[in-house]
């Protein structure tokens, strides 16, 4: 027996019992190891489905070009389909993606365009926007848009879900997966719940993503959007493939906890997997500790392979530099807030105050940055250096309202972000960032705070 092309080998990946990292947890925990797909990730399934559905619809024609915004793995699946079917590929990636992913895509013949991470999805520089623009400009091109293309979830409804049901002989009671585009979580969850409505589904989210709060409150809260490092899970948008009705619970996982569990899976289970796999297992086991019973069977999707992360989570120096060592506590935004002097009450100024009042407040309190509010929300910011430069040009500025001279508000970041994330944000022309503590109280973190934390760590 032989296969006619590599894409015929997609699917039918094994279930492997977790034995070490699950100590102390009741029930049976199984991992669906998706790196057995030819592109070493579960994205092969939906990539092929999107291409074949586009062909059937007449959207993708012979000699066409596939253009997609990807975190790497979807691009690999699309590249495999393109090679087998004779298409060209152009992929846009955010600059937080690993160099390994970029190199692999180029090795498969794709053109890769790297775009900035810390911009909004609507920004013309974002990898979403660049992909859409290229699709409009290039004749006979196809933009799969894995986020909103329902062939994504349908692929997992048709393959992943049935495989899990058959492999567990219908004994599965809990299903857990990371949620990014939503395809693997929701497609498989829909199928499994149709077989047994009592199956509990757990979506794994990351700090800096909007999913968990949106599920629990129905509110799309931009304050939840922070920079984070984990690749492949979490979003600052609501993809159409995320069907919240089939996700029962969400668990958020920090970059650090996901990275450490990723290495544990390799060391203790022999599963050389990617970063989001560690996040999925970490989040699922956190939930399982309190909820799984002896007779239960949980299946966790492990999306991809560790080769994508050799220079990140599997690099000791990188882990050390980012404060992700298991034996060492590294400073986070929360630690900085706890160590800040004063009573912790944030000093702000109204947009209706005049600039002279702002200057006097800065001098009196010995601060260089001021968040500006309108009585309800933060609407802007002031920094002493920028006010000084403006005053030199226009001395009468001191009598104007703060609203006339203020800069955009300081960016909010997660209380759990480590110093490397905070530093990267502050390098991008930001003088300070803000965080909310467990009581939802706002705090400001300046470049000086970061420097002091680095010196003391």
**Residues designated catalytic:** 43
CA distance 307 to 105: 13
Q: Which residues pair with 299 in a beta bridge?
A: 30, 175
Alpha helices in 307-395 (DSSP H): 316-321, 333-339, 355-365, 384-393
Which of 254, 207, 450, 238 is closest to 335 using CA atoms?
450
Q: In the structure, how many helices (H) and strands (E) does the chain have? A: 17, 16
The alpha carbon of 201 is separated from its chain's Cα centroid by a whole number of angstroms, namely 19
Q: Six-digit token pair at 181?
A: 């585009």
Q: How far apart are CA 68 and CA 47, in angstroms?
A: 10
Instruction: Give the CA-trace dihedral at 275, 280, 283, 284, to 10 degrees.
Output: -150
What is the pairing mode between strands 432-436 and 411-412? parallel
Token digits for 304? Answer: 């991809």
Q: Residue 8 contacts by C-beta under 8 Å, 6 or more apart in sequence?
A: none
Cα–Cα distance measured from residue 362 to residue 444, given in angstroms and rounded to the nearest whole number: 14
82: three-class secondary structure by DSSP: helix
Residue 33, number of CB atoms within 10 A of its CB: 21
DSSP state of 323: T
Length of the chain: 457
CA 318 from centroid of its chain's CA atoms: 19
C-alpha dihedral (149, 152, 153, 159), degrees to nearest 10: 150
């Amino acid at each position: 027996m032989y296969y006619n092309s590599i894409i015929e080998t997609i699917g039918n990946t094994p279930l492997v019992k977790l034995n070490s990292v699950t100590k102390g947890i009741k029930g049976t925990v199984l991992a669906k190891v998706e790196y057995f797909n030819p592109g070493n990730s579960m994205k092969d399934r939906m990539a092929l489905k999107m291409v074949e559905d586009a062909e059937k619809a007449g959207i993708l024609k012979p000699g066409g070009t596939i253009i997609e915004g990807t975190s790497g793995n979807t691009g690999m699946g699309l590249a495999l389909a393109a090679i087998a079917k004779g298409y060209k590929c152009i992929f846009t990636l955010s600059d937080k993606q690993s160099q390994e992913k970029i190199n692999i895509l180029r090795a498969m013949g794709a053109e890769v365009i790297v775009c900035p991470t810390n911009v909004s999805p609507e920004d013309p520089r974002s990898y979403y926007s660049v992909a859409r623009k290229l699709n409009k400009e290039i004749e006979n091109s196809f933009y799969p848009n894995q986020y909103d293309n329902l062939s994504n979830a349908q692929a997992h409804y048709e393959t992943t879900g049935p495989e899990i049901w058959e492999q567990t002989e219908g004994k599965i009671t809990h299903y857990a997966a990371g949620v990014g585009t939503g395809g693997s979580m929701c497609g498989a969850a829909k199928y499994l719940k149709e077989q047994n409505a009592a199956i509990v589904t757990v979506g794994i989210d990351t700090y800096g993503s909007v999913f968990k709060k949106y599920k629990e409150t129905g509110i799309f809260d931009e304050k939840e959007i922070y920079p984070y490092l984990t690749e492949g899970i979490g979003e600052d948008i609501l993809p159409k493939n995320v069907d919240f009705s089939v996700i029962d619970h969400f668990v958020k996982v920090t970059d650090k906890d996901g990275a450490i569990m990723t290495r544990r899976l390799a060391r203790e289970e022999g599963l050389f997997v990617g970063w989001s796999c560690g996040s999925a297992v970490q989040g699922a086991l956190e939930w399982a500790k309190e909820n799984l019973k002896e007779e239960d069977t949980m299946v966790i999707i492990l999306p991809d392979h560790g080769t994508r992360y050799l220079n990140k989570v599997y690099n000791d120096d990188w882990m050390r530099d980012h404060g992700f060592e298991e034996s060492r506590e590294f400073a986070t935004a929360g630690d900085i807030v706890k160590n800040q002097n004063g009573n912790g009450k944030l000093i702000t100024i109204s947009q209706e105050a005049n600039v002279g009042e702002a200057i006097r407040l800065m001098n009196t309190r010995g601060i260089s940055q001021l968040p500006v509010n309108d009585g309800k929300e933060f609407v802007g910011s002031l920094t002493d250096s920028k006010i000084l430069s403006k005053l030199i040009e226009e001395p009468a500025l001191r009598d104007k309202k703060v609203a006339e001279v203020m800069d955009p508000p300081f960016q909010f970041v997660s209380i759990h972000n480590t110093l490397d994330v905070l530093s990267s944000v502050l390098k991008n022309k930001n003088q300070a960032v803000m965080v909310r503590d467990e009581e939802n109280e706002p705090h400001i973190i300046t470049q000086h705070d970061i420097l002091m934390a680095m010196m003391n760590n």
